Amino acid sequence: MLEWDALNCGMQLQAVVKVKKTLHNSSLYTSHKTNVKIVCFGPHISSQVQAQHCVWYGECGESDKVPGKKYNCNYTGPPIPLPAEGHELLTELCPGYDYGNQSLCCDVQQLLTLQGSLQLPLQFLSRCPACFFNLMNLFCELTCSPRQSLFVNGTQFTNDTAANKTNVVEVQYYIGQTFANAMYNACQDVQAPSINVKALSLLCGKDASDCNATNWIEYMFDINNGQSPFPIIPIFSDVPVSGMIPMNNKTYGCTEGLEDGSGPCSCQDCSQACGPQPVPPPLLPPWTILGIDAMVVIMWISYVAFLLIFIGAVIGAWCYRQGPTHIMT
């Protein structure tokens, strides 16, 4: 859309030149100076300017609510090229930004913090590459995106007098509902084999059966989980809200492979990858004899035959023991 807006603007300017030439060559042209002004309205052009606007950069003071965690420093300038020592880490965590001069809204220390915060999800969700890719996308866009100001809005700040900087102590994160649903769908079946439960039971703050796309993300960004150093308030929408454009990046389903060559998730971690369940063959009609179950008839015949043979054998044995003399008398 940005290219279309720019092209549309250019076409308008060309049209103005043609109008001026036509007026000049026509008999209607006078010695009066003709001013023609074109105003090009392009929301995506303004978005391009906003895309170079960060919300934070670097880490500042210690979090008051989560010991051992730090706030990010408020910064509203353009993205800053990542130092060379962070390139390998960026490729590992957020390969989508590994291009150009790697100008981002995070520094190396923020990448290290992100890496440490994702160790638990990595342990369980990396079993399904598509699931973990979508999750990393969620956190990379929040932490480092050069388009950060489009979907992250700082709402509360405090002064870090020691460093003479400002802490960001609360933000709103605008997330596409489509993205959230797709991320959840790719992860909902991933197992934690060591304890025989679904991974979301460990990462959602509740049983996996009660977890959904929104309350999972809300839990991950809640300071009460001991990982987030400040409140991150997710706002879900697929359309712009209050001038913010929700993050709605491309996602992968659990049956899809990634561009880096990773295959789809296994059947154990993705029910959609298991294929249809085999249909059992139809039951055979019951075997009957004279309208009675054949097995019942056979059992009764066998029982009667056994009974006759047994009675005959008993009578024969009794007669044999009596002897011929007793029989004749």
pLDDT digits (tens, 9 = 90+) for 236-266: 999 999 999 999 999 999 999 998 888 999 9
Token pair, residue 151, equals 């979907």
CA–CA dist 114, 92 (Å, integer)? 11
* pLDDT recorded at residue 320: 80
* pLDDT recorded at residue 15: 34
Query: DSSP 3-state assignment of 179?
Result: helix
> How would residue 14 be classed by pLDDT, with cut points 50, 70 and 90?
very low
As a whole number, mean pLDDT of residues 267-276 equals: 87
State yes or no: pLDDT of 144 exceeds 70: yes
Q: What is the overall mean pLDDT for the chain?
A: 82
Single-letter amino acid code for the residue at 5? D
CA 16 → CA 13, 35, 37, 42, distances in Å?
5, 10, 8, 18
Token pair, residue 255, equals 């049956």
Single-letter amino acid code for the residue at 49? V
Q: Where are the domains of the chain?
A: 56-273
Percent of the chain with pLDDT over 70: 82
Task: Identify the burial level of 241 via C-beta atoms within 10 angstroms of its C-beta, where 0-12 means exposed, 13-18 middle and 19 or more buried.
Answer: middle
The CB-side HSE value for 279 (13 A sphere, CA atoms) comes to: 3
> How would residue 305 be classed by pLDDT, with cut points 50, 70 and 90?
very high
pLDDT digits (tens, 9 = 90+) for 209-222: 999 999 999 999 99
Token pair, residue 259, equals 């561009």
CA 238 → CA 16, 138, 173, 245, distances in Å?
37, 15, 13, 8
Within 10 angstroms of residue 136's Cβ, the number of other Cβ atoms is 21
Token pair, residue 61, equals 């003071």
CB distance 137 to 251 below 8 Å:
yes
- Concatenating the DSSP letter of every residue in 296-311 gives HHHHHHHHHHHHHHHH
